[in-house]
Chain A
Amino acid sequence: MTDPVLRLEGIVKTFPGVRALDGVSFSVLPGEVHALMGENGAGKSTLMKVLGGIYQPDGGEIVMGGETVVMSGPLEAKSKGIVFIHQELSLAEELSVAENIYLGELPRKSFGRVDWARLAEQTNTILKKLNVGFDAMTRVGDLSIANQQMVEIARALTVDAKAVIFDEPTASLTDAEKVVLFEVIADLQKDGVGIIYISHRMEEIFKITDRISVLRDGQYQGTVETTGTDEETVTQMMIGRKLDLSRNAAHHELGAVALEVRGLSCGDLYRDVSFTVRRGEVVGFYGLVGAGRTEIAETLFGLRVPSAGQILLDGEEVHIHSPADAIGKGISLVPEDRKGQGLVLGMNCRDNMTLPQVDDLRAGPFMAEGAEVAIFDQYRDRLDIRTPGWRQKVGNLSGGNQQKIVIGKWLSMHPNVLIVDEPTRGIDVGSKSEIHKLLRELAAQGYAVIVISSEMPEVLHVSDRIIAMYSGRIMRTFTSDEVTEDSLIQAISGLGGDREA
C-alpha cells in the first residue's frame, strides 16, 4: 500500500455565520486521478483555497508525506509540490507565454536579471510535451481562449509536482484539445503525481478518474471507486436525493404568439435563428456555454445589434435599440451574471428592485418612496425574500435572495415576455424549486417565458418546449412530451439533431 501524496484530515473552515467546510477528509494517492465533486456552493473552491494557503483552516490538518504541513500562501503550496490549474484564466495577457508559465518564479541571473535563454528553453520543453502550435515568446493576449487554457495547464509541468489540482479544465477546450489534456494527465499519473480533478461533466469523470469524493453543503459525503459506481449514485451523493429528471407535465391554455423571431443572426455569435413563444408558454433554451443562447437574449433586450432577421412582438415587427427600448416594449431580462449585470450591490434592496421603473414612480419631481416600498413588500412576500428590511444592502444577502431580488425587479415590470438566463445558478436546492414553481405560475398567468439554462433537469422541469442549440444554431425543437435525455444531449453536441427532427 502506497502512502498518499496528500491527505486532508477533518478540515474545518468557518466564515462568520457559515460552516463552509465541516470535517472534510480525503486523500490522494500517487498516480491516482481523484475526482472532487459537489454542487455549486458545496465547498469545493473553499477546500482548494485552504489547500492553496489562501485560507487558513480553523481545524484539521493537511498531511504530506507523513508530515503535517501549514500552507502560508500559494507560493508555499507550490514549493511543496501542489500546483493549481485555475478555472478562470489567471494570465497576464500582455506578457509572453513563457513569462506566464513561470509567473512568480522567473529564472534569475545576477543583478535580478531574467535568464531569458533558460526560460525559453524550459518553456519550449514543456510546450513540446503539450504539442501546441505556439512558442515560448508568443504574447498570451494573441492566443485563442483554448490555447490560453493550455498555457494555464502548462504551469502544472513547471515544478516537480506531487499533486496537481485541475479545476474545470475542459470548460473551454475543443475535443482535440481535451485529448491532449488527458494525455498530459496520463503522463503525470505515470510519474506518480496525484491529481485532483474537479468537474461537473460526468462523462469525463467516468473516463479518466480512479476514485470520486463528494462534498455536499461543506460536508464530506464519502469516497467511491469509479469503477464500482455509476452516475446516479454519485448524483445522489451530491444532491442528497435522486436527480429529478421529471418533465413538466402540466400544460395551460396557450395564448397568442407573443414573440416571434425570424432568421435572426448576429455575426458569428449565432445564425439564422427562428422560433416563437406564445403567451402561457415556457420555452427552454438548452445548450453548452457559448452556443449563442445568452447572445440571443441580449439581442432581444437591445444590447446587441442583429446583423440580419426580424423580431416580431404580438405580430408586429419591432427594432429594439436599447434596454430602455426593450423595457418599453414589454420585454424583461433576468441576466446571467447576477452580480455583474443584475444588481447594484452597494444599493439597498428596494432601490434595486424598482430601478427599471424609477421614472414612473414619482410624486411630482420626487421619487414616490411609499410606492417603492409597497412594490418591494409585495414581491418580498410573493417570492419569500429573506432580508431584515428594504434598507439592507443587496450585497449582504445570500445568493438565492439576491436572485429573487432580480426576478422580483423584472416581475414588477409586468412584462409581456420574460427572459430568464440561468435563473438558479449558484443557489441552494430549496430556492431552486421555488423559482421553478414560480416560472410555471407566471406562464399560467399568461406571461410568455423564455428560460435559458445549462442544467438539463431545470430545462426538463419547467419547459413546455425545449430548443436545443449548438454552436450558434438551433439544432432541434422538442415538446416536453417527446424529449428524451439522449436526444437532447445529441442535439446540443451537434450530433444528428437535424436528421431526427
Chain B
Amino acid sequence: MQPGALSKALKSGAIWGFIVLELIFFSVAGEFLSLSDKAFMNWENMLLLLKQSAPIGIIAMGMTMVMVNGNIDLSVGATFAIAAIVLLDSMTWPIFAGLGDWVIPVAWLLALLVGTALGALNGLIVWKTGVDAFIVTLGSMLGYRGVVFMFNGENPTSHLNWTLVDFAEAEFLGLATASWFLLAVTLVIWFLTKHTVHGRNAYAIGDNRDAAVNAGIRVGPHMMINFAIIGFLAALSAVVFYSESGSVNPNDGQLYELWVITAVVLGGTKITGGAGSVIGTFGGVIAIQLLRKGLGHIGADTSTVNLVIGCILIAVLFLDRQLNVKGKEELKV
C-alpha cells in the first residue's frame, strides 16, 4: 500500500506544487525577460488573475461534476454564448420596458433558466436515448451554436446597462464581483460533491455504474441533474462576464470546452469518472490562468500559451499513467 499512498499524495498535491513552480518560474524569469518592471507576484496582479479565472472556473466546477459522473459536456461554450445573448437582448425587450433597472434580475433569471434548460436537455437526451454523452454534447455544441448565429447572424449583440456594469465592476473586501462568484460557486459545488447524497451518488455512478444500479441508485436523474448544473453554471459564467462587457460576439465561448476540460483534467479528475475533486479543479483553473498571464508577463505571445498548455496536458496524462503502473510483472496488453 506504500507506493499507492505516495502516488496518491503526489497526485492530490501535484497541482499546487505546479502552481508554486509556475509562480517561482515567472517571478524569476520575469526579472530578466519582462518588459514592464512590475513584479509578477504582486498582490494586484494576483487579484486580477482570480477575476480573470472566473469565466472558465465557474464552468469548470460544473464540468467536474459531469466528469466525475462519467460523462462529458462539449456544449458549454455554446450554452455560454446563448445565455449571454439572452441576458443582453432581454434587457431591450419592450415587455420589460416598464421595469427600469429591475430588468436586471429578470434578465439574469432568464439567462440562467435558459442555460439550465439547455443543460437539462443534454442530460435528458443522454438519459433517455442511451447515446454517449460525448456524441450528444458534440451534437448540441453544433446545434446550440447554430442557434446563436441564427439570432443575429455574424453581428454582435450589445446592450450596456450602466447599473449592471457598476455592479460587475464593484469590489467587495478587495475582491471583484466575478472573483466572489467563482469562490462561491467553488464552495457550493464542493459542498455538493462532498456532503450531499446526490454528490456521493454521482461519484458512485462514475466509479462503478453496475454497482450503483444494483444498489438501486437511479442513474438517469443524477446524470440529468449534473447536466442541468453545468448548464446553469455556463449561464452564470456568461451572466458574470457579460454584465461587465455588455457585448457578445456569436463566436464567444468557442473552445471554452477545451479550456475547461484541460483545467479539470489538470486538477486530477479521472476522464473515466469516479474520481476528482472541486478543489483540484480550482487548482487547475488557477494553474492555467497563471500560465497564460505568466507567459504574457515574460513576453511570450498567445501562441506559446497554446503550445505549452497542450504539452502540459499530455505530460500530466503521462505522469498519471506512470504513477499507476503496477510493476514489471504487469500483463502486456
Contact = CB atoms under 8 A, between A and B. Distances in A.
Interface stretch (B155-163, B175-183, B190-198): B190-198
B195 A113 contact: yes
Contacts of B211: 90-92, 103
A303 B328 contact: no
B212 A307 contact: no
A148 B217 CA distance: 20
Nearest to B217: A104
A93 B214 CA distance: 15
Interface stretch (A206-214, A266-274, A413-421): A266-274
Contacts of B275: 94
Nearest to A92: B207
A116 B194 CA distance: 11
Contacts of B207: 92-95
Given A99-B200, A114-B196, A268 B329 contact: yes
A99 B330 CA distance: 30
Contact of A113 (B196, B201, B203): B196
B333 interface: yes
B128 interface: no
Contacts of A305: 328-329, 332
Contacts of A74: 213-216
Given A74-B215, A104-B217, A112-B198, A93 B274 contact: yes
B332 A322 contact: yes
Contacts of B196: 111-114
B36 interface: no
Contact of B208 (A75, A78, A93, A303): A93
A108 interface: yes
Given A268-B329, A304-B331, A92 B274 contact: yes
A105 interface: yes
A108 B331 CA distance: 43
Given A74-B216, A90-B210, A104-B216, A114 B197 contact: yes
A113 B215 contact: no
A307 B329 CA distance: 8
Contacts of B208: 90-93
B1 interface: yes
B174 interface: no
Contacts of B333: 303
Contact of A95 (B203, B328, B331): B203
Contacts of A90: 208, 210-211, 214-215
A73 interface: yes
B4 interface: yes
Given A90-B208, A95-B207, A103 B195 contact: no
A142 B212 contact: no
A372 to B, nearest CB: 25
Interface string B130-168: 000000000000000000000000000000000000000
B298 to A, nearest CB: 39
Contacts of A111: 196
Interface in B308-333: 327-333
B6 to A, nearest CB: 13
A92 B332 contact: no
A92 B214 CA distance: 12
Contacts of A78: 216
B204 A99 contact: yes
Centre residue among A86, A113, A307 by max chain B CB count within 10 A? A113
A469 to B, nearest CB: 17
A298 interface: yes
B196, B197, B331: which has the most chain A beta carbons within 10 Å? B197
Contacts, number: 91
Interface in A19-57: 52
A104 B329 contact: no
A104 B215 contact: yes
Contacts of B203: 92, 94-95
Contacts of A112: 196-198
Nearest to A54: B214
Interface string A269-306: 10000000000000000000000000000100011110
B214 A266 contact: no
A411 interface: no
A73 B195 contact: no
Contact of B197 (A75, A76, A113, A303): A113
A322 B333 CA distance: 10
A224 interface: no
A266 B326 CA distance: 13
A92 B270 CA distance: 14
B200 A95 contact: yes
Given A92-B207, A103-B204, A73 B197 contact: no
B145 to A, nearest CB: 34
A52 B213 CA distance: 12
Contacts of B217: 103-104
Interface in A100-125: 103-106, 108, 111-114, 116
B320 to A, nearest CB: 15
A95 B211 CA distance: 12
A81 B275 CA distance: 32
Nearest to B211: A90
B4 A142 contact: yes
Interface in A224-280: 266-269
A143 to B, nearest CB: 9
Nearest to A86: B214
30 contacts: A52-B214, A74-B214, A76-B216, A78-B216, A84-B214, A90-B208, A90-B210, A90-B211, A91-B211, A92-B274, A93-B208, A94-B275, A95-B204, A103-B215, A104-B216, A104-B217, A112-B198, A113-B196, A113-B197, A114-B200, A142-B4, A266-B329, A267-B329, A269-B329, A303-B333, A304-B329, A304-B331, A307-B328, A307-B329, A322-B332
Leading 9 A-B pairs by shortest Cβ distance: A75-B216, A104-B215, A90-B211, A92-B207, A267-B329, A103-B215, A104-B216, A92-B204, A92-B208
Interface of B: 1, 4-5, 195-198, 200-201, 203-204, 207-208, 210-217, 274-275, 327-333
Given A113-B196, A113-B197, A142-B5, 7 more contacts: A52-B214, A84-B214, A92-B208, A93-B274, A104-B215, A105-B215, A267-B327
